[in-house]
Amino acid sequence: MKAILFLSLAFLKKRKRQTIVSTLGFAISVTAFIVMSSIMFGFQKYFIQQVIDIEAHISIKPKEEIAEDRLIRRVDNESLIKALGSRPKEKDKILGWRDIMKRLEEHPEILGVAPHLESKGILKYGAKEKPVSLIGIEPFLEARTSVIERFLEKKNLSSLETHKDSIIIGKIVARDLGITETGKRVVLTLPNGQTKIMKVVDFFNSGITNIDASRVYIPLKTLQALLERVDEVNVLIIRIRDVKRAEALARELRAEIKYEVESWQKAYLNFLKIFKIQNMITYMIVFAIITVSAFGIFNIIMMTVMEKRKEIAILMAMGYSSKDITLIFLCIGLITSVLGGLLGFIFAYGILEYLANLDLELEGLLKSKGFILDRSPYYYLLGFVLSFLFSLIASLYPAYRASKLNPVEIFRSL
Amino acid sequence: MVLLELRDITKRVGQELILKRVSLRVETGEFIAIIGPSGSGKSSLLYIMGLLDRPTSGTILYRNEIIEWKDAVINRLRNQKLGFVFQFHYLIPELNVLENVMAPQLKAGRSYGEAKERALELLTRLGLDAKSKRQVFEISGGEMQRVAIARALANNPEILLCDEPTGNLDTKNTQRVMEIFEELNQEGTTIVMVTHDMSLAERAKRVIEMRDGEIVADR
């Protein structure tokens, strides 16, 4: 093997310019792979983690009536079809929710269950109004089923327990209403026309824009009283031990419970699908970059093989086997990709370090300061393995061609 | 002692028969010159003797053992028992003078240090020690051919096969190369040399003349 390395390195050293260009090509592709993976998966993992922390792992709610079932068709003059809506047949509530909760809490995979009453409402502060999603919660039970407290700026969840007119509002809701500190009083208006003055006791800041821009928590009993729905809830949220098992467990619960059982994966299916498409597009771009680098390697090795026919012939005359010749040219490709990979690590580390320290306010699907990065060494390893594999594939054919040269034909042709 | 033996060797290239049932015995310590006009089959015979080319039919024996045409066997013999010197030096330009002589030794499994030591020893013997670090393109044609000889001798071959080794050299360098061959032969290295030049062939101990793919004289 030392003879193979000795010759591969000699061929590489003498072709400095081509070696540098192809090494840089691989370095750029490895850098692109690592940086893009870190940004993309950093964002996606953070989003999913926040969702898992804030939202129910599994939620139970009344089945939505399909609009089609509520249509009445009437045919007039044999051609005209009119569709008229009928009233919903089922009430938006969970009957016997305490019994359901009790049963669920006995399940070994379930950590906690909490009741919600969810509704729409409008918050008014001064002249400003904002539609919000109201969630009536029991703070003690809520703390067991989500990590809501982690997202509260003042960690003041217990205020909902002690003060029935207290309200926790999303950070963006507060910003839009112009509320900058707790203690302010807002007017809450409900769909039935009831209004109540509530005191802001905390801000909720999950980082997920659409949640922070709409969500409001108030005590369950207060919301039940305002909506005149005493002791009614319309959602049960469940926290489980293994979040990855949410869909499987939801399937299991569907067989036992007559209400709709939805896992977080199903609730956020659209996002997960978008992430998949996003990953596909990103990897297509990265693969295109790596492929171009691999073609660079292919080109250089093929050129070397064509130019070095007589050197290959003399190596064979010295006793180098076809396998040795193949290995020499494979090594040229692999050394280039290893050097490129290592250089790519340095570039990627530098870029990620820069991005991590960037003071930037980003607000899209997520609200964050700077880029959310996943700096796992796994992406470095994967980038390295991919470039190594691509370079191996790119070097195989020229190396094979070199090994099939016939030394006698070469000596005769010179 | 018969070192290399060819029995009824035939070589066909396309429709053309370039070697016709050639038989030849090379004994230890011989210095053989193969002569003949262009196209007579001299180089083809040399390539088959050097196991670079496979005969269409016939048998090759090394030290009375039939050579099996297997990659491992052929490559080991090429690397450790045979040495080649061609008309053109075929030095590897990516390697310097010393490294060119080290290349076959590293293939034989010698360490870098051992290979370097042996290469320096050979280059010193051939008067090239001062140029061991030079790049190939920095030395003269005669020196390149001497480096090629050093490379061929690197693994102590039993037979040195030379195809028109002085064909590209001037008279002075030709003399120098021939003197080296004679010295090596006196020390026991068997030499088989293909040449056009009768005056050089006369310096060999045995002259084989070829014509139309056959040996027509062996004296």
Q: Print burial letters for B17-56: b (CB count within 10 Å at least 16), e (below 16).
A: bbbeebebebeebbbbbbbbeeebbbbbbbbbbbbbbebe
Q: Of A158, A165, A163, A148, which is closest to residue A204 (Cα–Cα)?
A: A148
Q: What's the rounded Cα separation, in Å, for the pair A149 and A35?
A: 33
Confidence of residue A207 (pLDDT cuts 50, 70, 90): confident
State the pLDDT at residue A54.
Answer: 82
Q: Is B80 on the interface with A (CB under 8 A)?
A: yes
B78 chain-A contacts, CB cut-off 8 A: 316-319
Average pLDDT, integer, range A353-379: 82
**Residues recorded for chain B:** 219
Instruction: Tell me what ipTM this predicted complex has.
Output: 0.90
Which residue is it, tokens 């080290």?
Answer: B102
pLDDT at position A90 is 58
pLDDT at A72: 54
Smallest CA–CA distance from B95 into chain A, residue: A10
Note whether B92 contacts A311, CB cutoff 8 Å: yes
DSSP tag of B53:
S
Tell me the pLDDT tens digit for each residue of B1-25.
888 999 999 999 888 899 999 999 9
Q: What HEC string does A12-32 produce?
A: HHHCHHHHHHHHHHHHHHHHH
Quote the longest CA-to-CA distance of chain A.
102
pLDDT tens digits, A268-309: 898 889 999 988 998 898 888 888 888 888 888 888 888 888
Question: Which string of b and e fits B164-190 if b means at least 16 CB within 10 Å?
Answer: bbbebbeeebbebbbebbeebbeeebb
Give the residue-averaged pLDDT of B57-79: 90
Q: What is the pLDDT of residues A18-54, one digit of tens each?
A: 888 888 988 998 999 999 999 999 988 888 888 888 8
Give Cα A380 to chain centroid, integer Å: 19
Can you tell me the distance from the alpha carbon of A9 to that of A336, in angstroms, rounded to the nearest whole number? 10
Q: What's the average model confidence in pLDDT over B156-182?
A: 87
Q: Which helix (H) or strand (E) holds B112?
A: helix B112-125
Specify the pLDDT at position A75.
56
**Cα separation, B90 vs B148, whole angstroms:** 7
pLDDT of residue A16: 84
Residues of A in contact with B75 (CB under 8 A): 319-321
CA distance B199 to chain A (A): 25
Read off the amino acid at residue A34.
I
**Helices B97-108 + A2-14 axis angle, to 10:** 150
Q: Which helix (H) or strand (E) holds A94?
A: none
Q: Please state, in angstroms and rounded to a whole number, the distance separating the CA atoms of residues A277 and A287.
A: 15
How far is it, in rounded angstroms, from Cα A155 to Cα A138?
15
Chosen for mutation from A19, A300, A314 (greatest number of chain B CBs closer than 10 Å) is: A314
What's the CA dihedral at B95, B101, B102, B105 to 10 degrees? 140
Q: Do B103 and A7 touch (CB under 8 A)?
A: yes
User: Starting from the edge strand earliest in sequence, which strands make up the sheet with B57-62, in order?
Assistant: B16-27, B2-13, B57-62, B65-66
Q: Give B77's contacts in chain A (Cβ within 8 Å).
A: 319
Residue A400 to residue A394: CA distance in whole angstroms: 11
Which residue shows structure tokens 């964050």? A368
H or E element, residue A263 = strand A260-263
Q: Does residue B29 contact residue B160 with C-beta atoms inside 8 Å?
A: no
For the entire predicted model, the pTM comes to: 0.74
CA pair distance A351, A31, nearest whole angstrom: 9
Average pLDDT taken over every residue of chain B: 90
- Whether residue B144 contacts residue B136, with contact meaning beta carbons closer than 8 Å, is answered with yes
With vertex at residue A289, the alpha carbon angle to CA A397 and CA A383, rounded to the nearest 5 degrees, is: 85
> For tokens 């750029």, what's the residue?
A28
Label the pairing between strands B57-62 and B2-13: antiparallel
State how far the Cα of A132 lies from the Cα of A331, in Å rounded to an integer: 63
Query: Residue A353's pLDDT is what?
Result: 92
Integer CA distances (angstroms), B73 to A314, A322, A356, B62, B67, in order: 18, 13, 60, 11, 8
How high is the pLDDT of residue B175? Answer: 87
Share of chain B above pLDDT 90, in %: 53
Residue A74 has pLDDT above 70, yes or no: no
Cα–Cα distance list, A108 to A112, A241, A247 (Å): 10, 9, 16
A285 Cβ contact list (under 8 Å, min separation 6): A32, A36
Query: What per-residue confidence (pLDDT) applies to A89?
Result: 55
* Mean pLDDT, all residues of chain A: 87
Q: What is the pLDDT of residue A52?
A: 85
Percent of chain A topping pLDDT 90: 49
Q: Residue A331 in contact with residue A4, Cβ under 8 Å?
A: yes
Please state at what angle helix B71-80 crosses helix B97-108, rounded to 10 degrees: 140
Residue ranges in chain B assigned as alpha helix (H)? 42-49, 71-80, 97-108, 112-125, 141-153, 171-186, 198-201
Q: Residue A36 is encoded by which pair of tokens?
A: 């893009």
Q: From start to end of A51-127, where are the E strands?
A: 58-61, 71-76, 80-85, 110-125
Alpha carbons A373 and A306: distance in angstroms, whole number: 45
> Residue A166: what residue type?
S
Model confidence band, residue A177 (pLDDT cutoffs 50, 70, 90): very high
Whole-Å CA distances, B187 to A154, B118, B183: 97, 17, 6
Residues in chain A: 414
Helix, strand or coil, per DSSP, at residue A402: helix
| Range with top average pLDDT, A91-100, A163-172, A299-308 | A163-172
Q: How confident is the model at residue A245 (pLDDT cuts 50, 70, 90)?
A: very high
- Facing residues of A169 across strands? A203, A216
Which of these ranges, A67-81, A265-279, A327-341, A355-369, has the smallest mean pLDDT? A67-81
Q: Which of A44-48, A61-65, A92-96, A276-280 has the lowest mean pLDDT?
A: A61-65
Chain B from 180 to 209: CB within 8 A of any A CB = none
- What average pLDDT does range A112-134 have in this prediction? 94
User: What single string gives the DSSP state of each residue in A186-207?
Assistant: EEEE-TTS-EEEEEEEEEE--S
What pLDDT shows up at residue A84?
56
CA A312 to chain centroid, in Å, comes to: 51
Q: Which residues in chain B touch residue A414, judged by CB atoms under 8 angstroms apart?
A: 88
Q: Give the pLDDT band (50/70/90) at residue A247.
A: very high
- Tokens matching residue A404: 């099939």
Picking from B95, B104, B107, the nearest residue to A10 by CB comes out as: B95
User: B116 CB near a chain A CB, below 8 Å?
Assistant: no
CA-CA-CA-CA dihedral for A340, A342, A348, A354, to nearest 10: -130
pLDDT exceeds 80 at position A69: no
Give me the residues of B, 48-77, that contact A with CB < 8 A. 50, 52-53, 71-72, 75-77
Torsional sign, CA A318, B88, B95, A335: negative
- A298 vs A78 pLDDT, higher one: A298
CB neighbourhood size of A63 (10 A): 10
Count Cβ atoms within 10 A of the Cβ of residue A30 and give its class: 0-12 exposed, 13-18 middle, 19 or more buried.
Answer: buried
Top mean pLDDT of A3-12, A298-307, A342-351 is at: A342-351
User: Residue B215 CB: number of other CB atoms within 10 A?
Assistant: 21
Which residue(s) pair with B191 in the sheet? B31, B160
Closest approach of A337 to chain B, Cα-based (Å): 21
